[in-house]
Amino acid sequence: MESWQINLAKEAVRKEILQLITEQKEALIKAGPGKDKQVHELVDDLHNQISLRMDVIRALEKLDIID
């Protein structure tokens, strides 16, 4: 994979992360403090998705160093 392709992939994943963070914030605002347990499960799931994407970025960065 070329360096520019890796950078493009990282940017795409970063955009996904920002969208997931926005979804988290919106869910928390709708629920308010301590109101909806289901929202907290949704937020936890979104957090896990963000973590997975951050792992992808780290892996892409390692590829970029190798090339």
The confidence score (pLDDT) of residue 34 equals 64
CA 7, CA 2: separation in Å to the nearest integer? 9
The confidence score (pLDDT) of residue 23 equals 93
The confidence score (pLDDT) of residue 37 equals 72
Instruction: For the chain, give every domain's residue range.
Output: 3-66
- This prediction has a pTM of 0.81
Residues of the chain with pLDDT under 70: 32-35, 66-67
CA 34, CA 67: separation in Å to the nearest integer? 48
CA 44, CA 4: separation in Å to the nearest integer? 33
